[in-house]
Amino acid sequence: MAPDRRKMIVAAATKSFSLFGYKATTMDQVAKLANVGKGTIYTFFKNKEELFEEIISSLVREMIVEADSVIQPKLPFTENVHRALYRLLEFRSQHQLMIKLVQEEAEMGTLAVSEMLQHVENEIIAYLKQKIETAISKGAIPAANTEITSFLLLKMYIALVSDWERNHAPLSSEQIAEIMKVFLLQGLPT
């Protein structure tokens, strides 16, 4: 009977953002959903955007857990990169909040949303970069500019998974894996 108000607020906001998007979610709505006075929200968060940031941070942590869960140390490195990336993009295309935000950016161009999605992309690149660096230090793959490599990996993935489907039939997971393997296995860009 002493509910954690902070958690209730975050839960309510997450639900509302997922359902209606960022702009269409009002603080009154969040307060009502969380069974909390509106003022209370502002004792935990400086403003709407900061509340949003906290939720996105959780989402990123969740994504990384997902990606890690799919990695199997015994598999070759390239296979694991593929698995992780595939899981990440699958996550992005299945998670309600992500779907809503991507949609909101496309059709309304909400600034705060664009910034958050860019942030998520950067987090994914940082994650990849770290994986690549440890693989290099273990001698699993040749040395390379890890920043460019992780950046390109993600861009290629997005191109193959999203952009490609604008004009062509979707590629199978196997085809994508094959393309990525070629790219990663051979000498990486220096």
Q: Given the rule CB under 7 A, which residues bind DNA?
A: 5, 23, 25-28, 35-40, 42-43, 47-49
Sole window of 57-65, 73-81, 92-100, 181-189 interacting with a second copy (rule: CB under 8 A):
181-189
In the list 164, 165, 172, 173, the residue contacting a second copy (rule: CB under 8 A) is 164
| The token pair that represents 62 in the structure block | 């969740």
Q: Which is nearer to DNA, 34 or 84 (CB)?
A: 34
Residue the block writes with tokens 């860009």: 189
CB of 126 vs DNA, minimal distance in Å: 28
Q: Which is nearer to DNA, 47 or 175 (CB)?
A: 47
Q: Where would I find the H helices in the chain?
A: 5-20, 27-33, 38-44, 48-69, 77-94, 96-108, 111-137, 146-158, 164-167, 173-185
Q: Which is nearer to a second copy, 71 or 112 (CB)?
A: 112
113 to 152, contacts with a second copy by CB under 8 A?
Answer: 122, 147-148, 151-152
The torsion angles phi and psi of 37, rounded to 5 degrees, stand at -70, 150
89 to 118, contacts with a second copy by CB under 8 A?
Answer: 109
3-state SS assignment for residue 28: helix
Q: Which of 60, 77, 14, 5 is nearest to 35 (CA)?
A: 5
Q: In angstroms, rounded to a whole number, what is the distance separating the alpha carbons of residues 172 and 162?
A: 12
> What residues make contact with a second copy under the rule CB under 8 A?
109, 122, 147-148, 151-152, 155-156, 159-160, 163-164, 167-168, 171, 175, 178-179, 182-183, 185-190
